[in-house]
Amino acid sequence: MDVFLILLPVLLLIFIVFVISIKKAPSVIINDAILNHEELKSHAVYTAKIHKITYKNIRTNILAKRLKDNYNYILKVYSIQNELSKKNTALCPGSEWLLDNFYIIEEEIKSIQQSFNKKSFKDLPVLKDEYLKKYPRVFFVALELVSHTDGRIDKDLLSDFLNNYQSINTLSISEIWSMQIMVKIALVEKIRFICEKINTTQSEWEEAESLKNLDSEKILNILKKKFEDKNHLSPAYIEHLMAVLR
């Protein structure tokens, strides 16, 4: 009997278990929830209410270091995908976008780094008790905006978000001035997140590819061990394995 037909019920069962486990998971990443324009206004007010700031313990280079780390990771993933492309290896979703846009991303990051050199950010108030403690408040505001719009920001949306935020907490002139740069830095964070997904998915595809010439019993044993080790198998892995075994 065809290996794919033998394994199909098992793969579907694993996929269902994975989906159910996600629904029951207590840790919901609320920052990734996409909000419409009106919801964003309300969220801006909520965000302003919970922010506590300080002008003490400001680390002036904290964003520059974070940006450099993100760039290095994006470059690493780009280099890996570029080499795979040269070998005509099947690339996972998102890879082509990264290959096509990397040099634009690189130029934007260089531009941001030059802005750090031209202007001091040492007078920006920082968060006192959020998970981004000691980071500039305006950076957190930019992150909230980017994460809740999937990076799709226009002038009106940005203006309304800031106006509603400032109905509770007034931003300084320095913060308003730096907002454009902070949004760009937040977009780099988003790109890094995309690259992490690309890297993980590509690795899972390669694992799935390695099973295509094995018999059904060996594949089942490998899947069982993998499931026991990680307590789940990702949809990307299962979907690609099903495609490979067809």
Total domains, the chain? 2
**Residues 208-229 pLDDT 10s:** 776 676 667 776 776 677 666 6
The residues, ordered by sequence, that sit 6+ positions from 118 with a Cβ below 8 Å of its Cβ are: none
Answer for the pair 37, 149: CB distance below 8 angstroms, yes or no: no
Counting other chains too, the contacts that 86-94 makes at CB distance below 8 Å and 24 or more residues apart are 90/205, 91/202, 92/198, 92/201, 92/202, 92/205, 92/236, 93/198, 93/201, 94/194, 94/197, 94/198, 94/201
pLDDT of residue 181: 93
Q: Are both 132 and 241 inside the same structural domain?
A: no
**Buried b or exposed e, range 83-96, using 16+ CB within 10 angstroms:** ebeeeeeebbebbe
- Angstrom distance (rounded) from CA 166 to CA 48: 7
Q: Are both 98 and 146 inside the same structural domain?
A: yes
Q: Are both 222 and 128 inside the same structural domain?
A: no
Q: Are both 142 and 94 inside the same structural domain?
A: yes
- Angstrom distance (rounded) from CA 17 to CA 39: 32
R_g over Cα of the chain: 22
Q: Are both 185 and 230 inside the same structural domain?
A: no
- DSSP conformation letters of 138-180: HHHHHHHHHHTTTT---HHHHHHHHHHHHTTSPPPHHHHHHHH
**Residues 33-47 pLDDT 10s:** 899 999 999 999 999
Q: Which domain covers residue 217, as residue numbers?
A: 1-32+213-246
* Residue 161, pLDDT above cutoff 80: yes
**Residues 74-98 pLDDT 10s:** 999 999 999 999 999 889 889 999 9
pLDDT of residue 17: 42
Q: Are both 190 and 68 inside the same structural domain?
A: yes
Q: Are both 54 and 4 inside the same structural domain?
A: no
Q: Are both 88 and 197 inside the same structural domain?
A: yes
Q: Are both 239 and 185 inside the same structural domain?
A: no
How does residue 133 score in pLDDT terms, banded at 50, 70 and 90?
confident
The encoded tokens of residue 97 equal 């976008």
Q: Are both 151 and 37 inside the same structural domain?
A: yes
**Residues 98-129 pLDDT 10s:** 999 999 999 999 999 888 765 567 788 998 87
Mean pLDDT across the chain: 80
pLDDT of residue 242: 66
pLDDT more than 90, % of the chain = 49
Q: Are both 103 and 222 inside the same structural domain?
A: no
How does residue 5 score in pLDDT terms, banded at 50, 70 and 90?
very low
Q: Are both 97 and 198 inside the same structural domain?
A: yes
